[in-house]
Amino acid sequence: DGYFYQRVTECRFSSKDLQGIEFIDSYVFNQAEHVRFNSTVGKYVGYTEHGVYNAEAWNSDAGILAQERGELERFCKQHAPIAYSA
């Protein structure tokens, strides 16, 4: 009973080249992803009615987009050496 909410952030590494890193920030509600930020796309994409609403609102806020776009550099590229050494 109840609701399930999850936020998943991940770095996807396609090669050892730092240009091949992708940052994904997904929002999941009741096991269905409803909105996602993808650094390759550079904006939020909604997959449900509520997700589309949130994506439009978040994409119109330059501060939110700048913060998400910065995560690729701040989080993914900083931790790439650790991922590659594992």
Report how many domains make up the chain: 1
pLDDT > 70: what percent of the chain?
91
Q: Strand 32-38 to strand 5-13: parallel, antiparallel, or no bridges (unpaired)?
A: unpaired
CATH number where 32 lies: 3.10.320.10
Print the domain residue range for 74. Answer: 5-85
| pLDDT, position 2 | 78
Q: Please report how many Cα atoms fall inside a 13 Å half-sphere around the Cα of residue 42, on the Cβ side.
A: 1
Q: What does the pLDDT look like over 31-71, one tens digit per residue?
A: 899 999 999 999 999 999 999 999 999 999 999 999 999 99
Higher-pLDDT residue of 80 and 73 is 73
* Stated pTM of the model: 0.83
Cβ atoms 16, 84 nearer than 8 A: yes
